[in-house]
Amino acid sequence: MKVAIKTLGCRTNQAEGEALKEELKKRGFELAGEDEADIFILNTCTVTSEADRKCRKLMHRAKKRGQILVVTGCYAQREERKLFEEGADIVVPQLEKENLPSLLCEKLKKEEKPGVYKADAYLGKAKAFLKVQDGCNHFCSYCIVPFVRGRERSSPVEAVLERAQELIKAGFKEIVLTGIRLGRYGIDINTSLTELLRKLLEISKGVRFRLSSIDLKDISFDLIEMMKSEERICPHLHIPLQSGSERILKAMRRPYGPKNFLQLVKVCRQNIPRFVLTTDVMVGFPGEGEDDFKKTVEVLKRAKPAKIHTFIFSLRPGTEAASLEGRIPSEVKKERSRLIQEIESKLFLEEAERFLGEVLTVLVEEKKGEYYKGTTENYFKVRFKGEGVRIGKLRRVKLIRVFGKEILGELERRDEKCQNASFVR
């Protein structure tokens, strides 16, 4: 039978969705487009009410197409009964997602083929996202994730190294480590993220590693020192801020203050060559006054992130924040989000212009028209022209000027295609 899988949400969920595709192919299913499939698998997210709305919309489309509808992921963990009422034929909660291939075969009376489910790798066009950790033990007052993902757990070191070697052998030049609480990797198995990175570097050559979102409290001096000395660890960190107000951060149950955030960013900039910061900000948390919002703006202007992922507070039933007073009107939340996006544009321009004239290593990810597009080690999107360029390879590119949210570059002729790049800065 033909099957289509649609995944919403974070990179960890994307990794799990891609792993499901691989496992279903092993069991004899044919992957198809959403309109051609007999079975539509929706791998859901529930981090916001907007994510829930998208899930329901996709479910209704699948039912109109007359497909067998399978719903899994975080929304399925939280609202299993409701999803059946909405028309799902099979619901597989997040914590049982690894059983989905076998369960689907059983429901369809399809003969199972042996296979090993590896919910650990999302294969993009040029880079691979490698899941090494899942779950979270810290219950932020607004967050539903610990309820649907469970407690923290790390993948065994040997399993991570084995999967990384497979990805390297397949030709990937950038591997992004992902996890719900990535910086807590190893706490439960007597190791650490830094030690894992050290072992990954030992088994690889000409491959760079990037860290996905990592909490401030989980960034150790050892990690900073490794990023300072090891050129194959990308000098980019996505560190969530959420708010610049001490009062709001406490209400959010975030274990740091704005001063901690600014100090860490300062240390990273002082120690990690070509360091670039990206971050998350939430607007409209219950009780967030104008002064609280102004403090967030002030912290952002001082921290200078090149990209800000702005969330509008979304009430999640079952979380502590759902019962808090001081709800912010919708129009106020939207205006604050718009203002943050304006600030982001200015900060991006400032950060991008710092690197004009420099030569950076770009992972080539696609070609559109006469331009190749890719990402630098410090997370800038670059477009450039050139000959002999191949998708998935690393090329040295001189940054010339900022163009919108991208940087125009010029291919270095003497980069030797970076096939065995030394990553010299």
- Here the CATH number for the domain that contains residue 102 is 3.40.50.12160
Q: Residue 125: its pLDDT value, please?
A: 64
261 and 135, same domain (yes or no):
yes
Per-residue pLDDT at 147: 94
- Identify the segments of the chain with pLDDT beneath 50: 114-119, 121, 416-425
Exposure string of 87-110, with b = 16+ CB inside 10 Å and e = fewer, is ebebbbbbeebbebbeebbeeeee
- The DSSP H or E segment spanning 63 is helix 49-64
pLDDT score recorded for residue 61: 95
> Is 424 part of a structural domain of the chain?
no
Nearest to 161 by CA among 123, 198, 190: 198
Contact status, residue 91 vs residue 108, Cβ threshold 8 Å: no
* Predicted pLDDT at 425: 37
Among 305, 321, 354, give the residue marking a domain's end.
354
User: Is residue 116 assigned to a domain?
Assistant: no
Last residue of a domain, one of 333, 354, 375: 354
- Domain of 271? 121-354
Q: What is the per-residue pLDDT across 172-201, written as a single tens digit (0 to 9) for each? A: 999 999 999 999 999 999 999 999 999 999
For the record, the structure tokens of 184 come out as 């807590």
Domain count, the chain: 3
The answer to whether residue 114 sits within a structural domain is: no
Q: What is the reported pLDDT for 18? A: 85
Q: Are residues 181 and 83 in the same domain?
A: no
- pLDDT the model gives residue 38: 94
In-domain check, residue 113: no
Which helix (H) or strand (E) element contains residue 209?
strand 208-211
Rounded to whole angstroms, how far apart are CA atoms 177 and 163?
Answer: 12
- The answer to whether position 54 is within a domain reads yes
Tens digit of each residue's pLDDT (9 = 90 or more) over 335-382: 999 999 999 999 999 999 999 999 999 999 999 999 999 999 999 999
Residues 136 and 210 in one domain: yes
The answer on 288 and 205 residing in a single domain is yes
CATH number of the domain where residue 228 is located: 3.80.30.20
Q: Do 344 and 198 share a domain, yes or no?
A: yes
Residues 134 and 265 in one domain: yes
* Same domain, residue pair 68 and 196: no
Asked whether residue 324 falls in the same domain as residue 381, the answer is no
Question: 401: helix, coil or strand?
Answer: strand
In a domain, 115, yes or no: no
* Euclidean distance between CA atoms 9 and 199, whole angstroms: 29
Instruction: Give the CATH number, domain containing residue 409.
Output: 2.40.50.140
168 and 290 in one domain?
A: yes
Last residue of a domain, one of 107, 137, 167: 107
Say what the pTM is: 0.88
Q: CA distances (Å), 150 to each of 29, 145, 180, in order?
A: 30, 8, 10
Q: Are 378 and 235 in contact (CB under 8 A)?
A: yes
Do 204 and 302 lie in one domain? The reply is yes
Residues 96 and 157 in one domain: no
**Is residue 158 included in any domain, yes or no?**
yes
Give the relative orientation of helices 100-107 and 11-26 as an angle to the nearest 10 degrees.
40
247 shares its domain with 143: yes
Is there a domain that residue 39 lies in?
yes
